[in-house]
Structure 1
């Protein structure tokens, strides 16, 4: 008799996610009649036809044709059918436009990213070019270049599929990685124009109609202060390439539907966005947006992995009963759900702060908190996404390791989330720099304490006490740490602060759920997250330990 198992199935991705529905009810209480029908429609699409299409296209990947039949260099990238459909859906449902139409004021960012949360797990990482498109729109607006805003913004934020553009973000080079001060791309004057020459080692929106790129104008000083931000369109009016040559598509661990490429800029015509210096400062608004998208993509991936694992637990019987009835398996899923709920609320708190800032209604304290919350949300949820995807695959036993189930993709695609838009260590150092700014640490502490103050139910006391203790230890460490020890502990500090804010947000949300008849699920999640441990500052290694474990003879001389 053949070995058969019932595969996991999905139900409506919006209706089956009580946490998302609660968030929408809290953030958009006066607009539920408008936003919920669209979310329900997209939830059905994501769990139904798009999910099925992903399975059908499992082995399809983008491919490149460098030359046409007559010897012309075309660098045409053929995308998968699902990616082509994703572009249409993104435009029609305003996955970028919603944030800029601002129909719901400061809550427009939450509305936009709720749409993304529902759809993204079924769009094969199409959120990547959308995030960069959104970030480019924000960077152009903040730079105040009226001509570029007039030309590009209506296309970047269009709801018409034939008109909407996507944008690339071209920063990473062979020599630099996250250290953009080593950028080798040169900008040279050509009459009234500028032309870019160099190589971009990692471009994840290769098929975009435009890009924002860092380059060093000839004669500018070395280091990051000599960089400028340039706008370029990837093709000329006649469809020929604007000096943008695609060397090859990357052979990656995951995100394989995404046509990531190495590019050579061979005289690409470009326009300075904000003068001939200050490029890193000019691109910073883009990074705030893309890091927020990264956090939302992370929690969307967690929800998809857990939705599949929960459904499978009800279908799969072992040792005489469904997995869902096995106490140890139920305990495992409950722990993963608690992590997911904290991560979700952190990601959407970053979105809410961004929306308030863009709408001009954020308080001074919220503006300061945003500076720390954005990197904290990105780095914390990125690490959680990988851990949850790994555990979710284990919930399927051997089926989770078999490619034609489609499940291994969940882990491969999650692995990029701690890397994109700044690695965990890069962002931990960014958090340190942010906290060194006047008032930022106080604003972040006030953010945590405000959410904890909203939690009144006695059953939440263990979570409240754990969060307050972790915050106090982090503040004490930050005040005392200096020199190499301060940098060495940056990751532990950042993850402690990220998890502390998650717990505070979850405690406050649990109180809202109790007050509004939504039940005790979030309360249970808060208590569980507190038991998982949120204080990573507690055990600080000494300098001798670091040397022993990372020095040149860390192997003890064994051969």
Structure 2
């Protein structure tokens, strides 16, 4: 080849490569290379740290590499779940078709037995925070729902219905190495979070019930068992049931338990997760918990755990966003300097990192309170409990709600800022997982009660307990460790807002008060998170 032809061949060739960045990102260990997360684990687990640390270090490389690759494959639009309503012989089967990689990932994640009695709760918590960094991946919502189902079965054993004990063992400890998947179907078309408006009917059939009607938002529709709310025929109050997807021997035959799946929803995020509309036509259902206490049970146990898990997920999302944004900012050069060498970019990176640390520390601190309390999952807070315990249970209730609304809102901001560090490449779905996780955060913000609903609930809760737990005492308890000046500031603001028409009729005054309440809750919870972060880093 002549010199001239060689020059022609090189003409127009761009030697730039992302290989260095990609290689470093692919070789990251999401636990070992996350010093703050390790600090938090050490701070909160005490004498159990060495064992937990060893077990998490063993899992993390799988999540960071193999499971991450599976999650990216499952997220591709051409393999999203779809319905196959009939088989070749005209039998109604309602098969939810998912890619092979989704089944592998699901079996791997659930095979960890994260809700088994054999695993330390802090080990499970930390492993879940790392798994959440995959994004939804078709597994984290089912994992969360399974946690709620297990807690419900644990709290309300019923020897008269042996099937419930079998379901508990199948989901919690596994049977022959297979762990079942749980779901929760509560929302109906007339009111998502308005559970008292449920119209699904439960008709008694001996010790069991038969369900008739429709559920309109059913995530993890492929699950083996679901927690379902319905009204017993002749009652105007909601009860709770466990409904198997298949009766014994019918899963292999694809004969569903008296229900049909109308369609799968097309969602902006958590797209790998089949969310469906389900029509019950006499499905066999097992009653659980006191009859007509379904709302208290659903909110106090199942939704509390789901909301708690959303906070854990947001911490995982932010840790990943911060880690990858910093990695790219240290690799990418523009205008002769690395991205992180520009003050505006450096400022954003610092904000992202601080938010990730605050959210992580806050999630740990709330879970620490959860583990320390007696029966933290309650269908309401009993007045029979000692006053100090009641106050701590109330703190947990409000912190879970505050974390859910604040971590999801800030999570969306953090993911958006992290995407901007990548500039144009940040929105390229094959270049980065951050756009996918951003959409997952936005969906999580709506699940288990949207922001306005939970802000309303927090306001009403504080008003309701004020006779035995004053607003000033509540603030001082939540912000223990803050300066007296900060405690006084938030106490004064809260006492003022409780006198304002936050929940009144719409007017200029009520709109202003409602806006200030929203701002107060965000600032108040960030102050709590900041205390938690300082405790971890001291």
Give distance in 1, aligned partners of 2:221 and 2:527: 38
Tell me, yes or no, if structure 1 residue 227 matches structure 2 residue 257: no
Tell me, yes or no, if structure 1 residue 164 matches structure 2 residue 159: no
Deviations along 1:234-270, one digit per CA (max 9) or x if unpaired, are 1011222101211111111111111111111111011
Compared CA separation, residues 129 and 23, structure 1 to 2 (3 A): same
Partner of 1:540: none
Compared CA separation, residues 383 and 505, structure 1 to 2 (3 A): closer
State the TM-score, normalized to the length of structure 2: 0.85
Compared CA separation, residues 443 and 376, structure 1 to 2 (3 A): farther
Q: 75-84 vs 501-510, which deviates more? A: 501-510
**Equivalent position SS for 1:29:** helix
Q: 21-30 vs 503-512, which deviates more? A: 503-512
Tell me, yes or no, if structure 1 residue 507 matches structure 2 residue 531: yes
Partner of 1:142: 155
Partner of 2:133: 121
Partner of 1:446: 476
Residue 362 (structure 2) aligned to one of 334, 339, 346: 346
State the TM-score, normalized to the length of structure 1: 0.82
Partners of 2:74 and 2:272 within 8 A in 1: no
Partner of 1:202: 217
Partner of 2:4: none
Partners of 2:157 and 2:165 within 8 A in 1: no
Tell me, yes or no, if structure 1 residue 12 matches structure 2 residue 29: yes
Give distance in 1, aligned partners of 2:62 and 2:319: 16
**Equivalent position SS for 2:481:** helix
The structural deviation recorded for 1:161 is: 7.5
Partner of 1:216: 231
Give matches, 1:173-188, under 5 Å.
173-188=188-203
Partners of 2:142 and 2:182 within 8 A in 1: yes
Compared CA separation, residues 264 and 508, structure 1 to 2 (3 A): closer
Deviations along 1:45-82, one digit per CA (max 9) or x if unpaired, are 22222223334444232232111111111111133344
Residue 282 (structure 1) aligned to one of 294, 297, 304: 297
Give unmatched runs, 5+ long, in structure 1: 454-463, 515-559
Give distance in 2, aligned partners of 1:158 and 1:113: 17
The structural deviation recorded for 1:448 is: 2.9
Give matches, 1:46-195, under 5 Å.
46-59=63-76, 60-97=79-116, 100-101=117-118, 103=120, 108=121, 110-122=122-134, 124-146=137-159, 147=161, 149-158=164-173, 162-195=177-210
Partner of 1:270: 285
Partners of 2:193 and 2:449 within 8 A in 1: yes
**Equivalent position SS for 1:84:** helix
Tell me, yes or no, if structure 1 residue 378 matches structure 2 residue 390: no
Give distance in 2, aligned partners of 1:218 and 1:381: 40
Partner of 1:305: 321
Alpha-carbon RMSD: 2.6
Give unmatched runs, 5+ long, in structure 2: 1-12, 377-385
Partner of 1:412: 439
Partner of 2:497: 477
Q: 488-497 vs 84-93, which deviates more? A: 488-497
Give distance in 2, aligned partners of 1:344 and 1:481: 34
Between the two proteins, the alignment pairs up a number of residues equal to 493
Compared CA separation, residues 84 and 263, structure 1 to 2 (3 A): same
The structural deviation recorded for 1:203 is: 0.8
Partners of 1:96 and 1:130 within 8 A in 2: no
Residue 243 (structure 1) aligned to one of 258, 266, 273: 258
Partner of 1:531: none
Partner of 1:427: 454
Give distance in 1, aligned partners of 2:286 and 2:443: 31
**Equivalent position SS for 1:413:** helix
Deviations along 1:360-407, one digit per CA (max 9) or x if unpaired, are 899443212112111111111011111111111111111112233244
The structural deviation recorded for 1:490 is: 4.9
Partners of 1:471 and 1:497 within 8 A in 2: no
Deviations along 1:81-139, one digit per CA (max 9) or x if unpaired, are 44323333333323232xx5574xxxx2x432211111222261511011111111222
